[in-house]
Every structure is written in C-alpha cells, then in structure tokens.
Amino acid sequence: MSLSIHEMTMFTTPVPAPTSRIDWRGGLPTLTGKIVQLRELRASDAKDLLAALGTAEVTKLISPPPPTVEGFEKFIAWTIRQREAGKAIAYGVTLRGSDTVIGLFQVRSVSNRFDIAEWGFAVGSDYWGTGIFMDGAQLVLDFSFDVLGVRRMEAKAAVKNGRGNGALQKLGAVQEAVLRRSFLRNGVYMDQGYWAILATGWREIRAVRTARVIH
C-alpha cells in the first residue's frame, strides 16, 4: 500500500466511524486477516515469543524484550492485567492454520479515554518481507479505531530502523517530528521518528483499499 494521508484530499465527505459493543476488557476477540490470525497471548506462548523476538537481529533497534521464558510469562500476565484495567492490549501474531506465535502487537492508551494511543510491534526475522506485518497491522488499526475508540495512533521508531519507519509510512502514517537522542540502546542514544495515524485518515485509506479490491 502506497497511499498517504496527504493523498486523501479527493474525499469531501467524511467517512463515518463504525460503532462496536465489544467488551474487550473481558477478553480480546480473535482477528483474522488474509495471512495471519491475531489472538490474545497465553502463558504457554512464552517459549515461542522468546524464540521469535529474542534474536539479536530483531532486537537491534527496539526496546529489548524479556531475555527468558519466565520473563515472557510475567510479561504475558502483565498484558492481561493491563487489558482488564482498560489501559492496553497485546495481540500475538500467528499464521492462519497455526497456533504458534511469531510476533506481537501492543497498543497502550496515553490518555484517560483511550482516544490517543501508542502502538509497538515486532515480528520474527524469518517472516520479514512476507506481508505478515502489513496484514496484522491493518487488523490492529481497524480494531483500535473502530472498537477501542482511538482517534490518534502514535508510534516511535529509531531513525536507523529503516524497515520499521518504512512500514509505518506504507500504512499511511505521517512523520511529525524527529525526537533527537531519545532512545537508549546498547549504551548509545539514538534519534527516533515520531509518527501518527488519525482515525479519519485511516478510514479514508481503508475505503480506497476496499474500492480497489471491488474493482
């Protein structure tokens, strides 16, 4: 997908916001895409998460994940408590037809009403360039804007993380700033790109994508 929010000026009528009555605090619904299925994490996923996300290639330019299976078990329990409190959600990424977790999406509220949120993501390096991230990211954005009620989704990515910044741009995010020396990794402070996607812009992008599929 190559459309940006700035290319959406052809629309003159706002796209209506869908409404949902899903009680996500009581448990996350499974989300199914063309390639992936997203589901809530379970304690038994800890070993697979460590295998997928614990490699040096994956963690080079992101905040380091837990270094042990036990650490991931504690992380998973924490994500469930955060969801029950209405503060954040975490989705494990699996391939359709498989139950093995190969990646992770997180969304956390940065406002009292969950109308402004920040998201993060990581996928095992064996699956880079396969379309898995884009398929899962579209599901997470749909859920965040349509169910959680997010109106502005923010993200930060190290400037040197070309893959992460490129993925955000491809989704239609706008880079609003560069946060200088804001991310410490391996003793080095790095600049980060500061990105945002608005609910209105995402729904317009989604409408264009749907129209292209129909035609």
Range list of β-strands (E), 103-211: 103-109, 116-123, 152-158, 174-185, 188-198
Q: What is the pLDDT of residue 143?
A: 98
Work out the mean pLDDT of the chain and round it to a whole number: 90
Cα separation, 75 vs 65, in Å, equals 9
Pick the CATH number of 25-214 from 2.60.40.10, 1.10.10.10, 3.30.70.20, 3.40.630.30: 3.40.630.30
Of residues 193, 159, 191, 160, the one with CA closest to residue 177:
193
Query: Does 11 score more than 80 pLDDT?
Result: no
3-state SS assignment for residue 171: helix
Q: What is the pLDDT of residue 6?
A: 34
Contacts of residue 145, defined as CB under 8 A and 6 or more positions apart, other chains included, come to 17, 151, 153, 199, 202, 203
**Geometric angle at alpha carbon 50, from 49 and 51, rounded to 5°:** 90
Cα separation, 215 vs 207, in Å, equals 12
Domain map (residue ranges) of the chain: 25-214
Q: What is the pLDDT of residue 98?
A: 97
Q: What is the pTM of this model?
A: 0.88
The identity of residue 113, as a single letter, is: R
Q: Per residue in 167-197, pLDDT tens?
A: 999 999 999 999 999 999 999 999 999 999 9
Of residues 152, 204, 203, the one with CA closest to residue 19:
203
Q: Per residue in 35-80, pLDDT tens?
A: 999 999 999 999 999 999 999 999 999 999 999 999 999 999 999 9
Alpha-carbon distances, residue 100 vs 18, 34, 69, 94, 112 (angstroms): 31, 17, 15, 6, 34
Of residues 201, 135, 145, 143, the one with CA closest to residue 174:
201
Query: Does 14 score more than 70 pLDDT?
Result: no
Token readout for 164 is 């992460």
Q: Per residue in 89-103, pLDDT tens?
A: 999 999 999 999 999
Q: Per residue in 137-171, pLDDT tens?
A: 999 999 999 999 999 999 999 999 999 999 999 99
